[in-house]
Every structure is written in C-alpha cells, then in structure tokens.
Amino acid sequence: TKAMQKIGLLTKTEQPSADEVSDGLYSLNSLLASWSNESMLIVARAWENFQLVGGQTLYTIGPGQTFNTVRPTFINDAYVIVNSTTTPSYQLTVIQDETYFDTTLKTQQGIPFELNYDNGYPTGNIRIYFVPDQAYTLFLLSEKPLTSFATLDTVVSLPPGWEEALIYNLAVRIAPEYGQQASQGIIQIAIDSLTNIKTAIRRNRTMDCEWGQNNGKSVLSGQTGRGLL
C-alpha cells in the first residue's frame, strides 16, 4: 500500500484491490530474491556446524540434504575440529571449482584443508579435501538468501532502515506495471536507503586478507595461494 502511494496509484484513504495486493507481494518477494545475491545486503552471516564422515568427500547441502539447512548463496569461511572439545581447529580454504578440478589426488585422506562449494541449485554440493581420515565437525560461515514474505499477514522484524528501503525500492519496481514513472525524489530515496543499509553492513565486515587466514586468498579472484610459494 505504501509503495503504491509513493507513485500516486493510491491516496491516503484508498486501499489496493486483492489483485493489486497479490501482484505487490509477488514483486516484493522477487525484489528480496534479487537482493539475496548481493553480499552487502546480507545483514548477518550464518554460523552452522555439521558432521563429516571418515572416507566421505562429497556432501549435499539444502533442505532435507546431508547438511539439512537453507542452501547458502555463498560460503565465506570454514574450519574443522576432531569430535572432541580439547582438539585444535583446522582452517579450510574455500576454493573454486577449477582449483578443485585441478587437484590430482582427490582420494588422498588426511586432515581436511580445502572446501569446494559448487553453488548448485536447488541442492548445493560441498567437496572436502583431503578426504576426512576420521569423523570431524565442520563449521561453516555462510550467506543465506533473504527470507521472503509467505503471506500478506507475515509479521517481520526489520533492522533499522529496511522498511524505508523496501517501500521505496518496491515503488520504483512496480511503477512501470501501472504505466507510472517514479519521481526523481522517490528514486533517490530508494537509492539512498539501500546505500545506507550497505554502509551499515560494511562497517561490520573487513576487506583485510591476512596471511594465514584462508591461506592467502586473493580478494579479487577468490583463488588461494596454493602452489605460489
């Protein structure tokens, strides 16, 4: 309703029709799905842990899969521990498909030190290298899609600034469907509100890439320094 008011489709006292509301909800969820692909719009990354099986290198991830969770859009970091509270942790480097493909001894067993995620949909695949030589607990830091609104009555709690961003960006998104053109003022608020969210998220993220953390990964390519030294 607010988005339609911003582009002049409704006055303060008017309400959208059932058909318009249904279309608006669809457009809102499409907007959220699109934003899910942008790292700087993921407010908080998820820490989760899963069990690795000795001798098993491939694990599916997604609802009802080996790792039963929401499919991540991106895996940021990972480490493993032996199933004991007194054991040290072992950092895993997240590698691209090409790097894993070039690995010659894919059946080599030992303490895992690399993880490949193929970003498959609707089921993702995680490959662990070395192949675990025993049971380990895998800890993943990942980005998950923004949650869609299931119904018109869905109650949500939003971080500061998100309500404005959703209203104004939805207004810009739906305007052409109704032969309307969002004003420059509405467009600018949509841009500014989204920028403010990204700025707030960026304050809690670092661009540093310290040696020894993820084994010298490049911030440009995501590739590791394996074989460079």
Per-residue H/E/C for 36-101: CCCHHHCCCCEEEEEEECCCCCEEEEECCCCEECCCCCEEEEEEEEECCCCCCEEEEEEECHHHHH
Name the residue type at position 144.
K
Task: State the sign of the Cα–Cα–Cα–Cα dihedral 33, 37, 56, 69.
Answer: negative
What interhelical angle do 18-35 and 162-174 show, nearest 10? 110
**Predicted TM-score (pTM) of this structure:** 0.82
Report how far apart, in Å, the C-alpha atoms of 86 and of each of 20, 81, 89, 173 are: 58, 9, 10, 53
Distance CA 124, CA 71 (A): 7
- Give the pLDDT confidence score for residue 161 in this predicted structure: 96
- Give the pLDDT confidence score for residue 85 in this predicted structure: 62
Q: What angle do CA 123, 124, 130 make, to 5 degrees?
A: 140
* 229 residues of the chain, pLDDT tens digit each: 999 999 999 999 999 999 999 999 999 999 999 999 999 999 999 999 999 999 999 999 999 999 999 999 999 999 999 976 667 899 999 999 999 999 999 999 999 999 999 999 999 999 999 999 999 999 999 999 999 999 989 998 889 999 999 999 999 999 999 999 999 999 999 999 999 999 999 988 866 655 444 444 444 444 444 443 3
